[in-house]
Amino acid sequence: MAYGKRTKFLRKSSADTLAFVGNIIEIDGISPSRDTTENTDYGTDQDDVRTYERGMMEPGELTVKIKYRKDANVEAKAMEDEFYAPVADNNEATTEYALHYPVVGNPSRTFNGIITGVSEPLAAGEDMVQEFKFKLSGPIVRGTWA
């Protein structure tokens, strides 16, 4: 796991804006990959070597450990509730999330995801620490941090 010191984690809130959840203290991912499709032309002079073209992108998975204020953090609670919601109530639902890096000009990452794992929150002084695992769905938007 890499340390994400002062990297902010945001979630699209019920007000339809990206709301601050907490600071990432550890992060594993985002690691997208891309499939390939064979496009070899048989019977041509290619030295009998297969050729490929780019296929669909797999956005990957993400694990983040977030530190947030324990005094009524609505967004962290909503993320935990989203995980525990019955599938019938939350079928195919994804939520928009964002990472904002602390270096000026460094790109942010915005993605839709499904929470696939949640740890129990642990007290850390005035804060709470909790780990969330996501399966990303759709493209990762690479933006500029402001």
Spatial CA neighbour of 99 closest among 64, 132, 128: 64
Question: How many CA atoms are closer than 13 Å to the CA of 119, on its beta-carbon side?
Answer: 14
Q: How far is CA 16 from the centre of its chain?
A: 18
pLDDT at 94: 85
CA distance 16 to 136: 19
What is the pTM for the complete model shown?
0.82
Name residues of the chain where pLDDT drops below 70. 1-5, 44-46, 72, 89-92, 106, 145-146
Q: How far is CA 99 from the centre of its chain?
A: 8
CA distance 27 to 135: 14
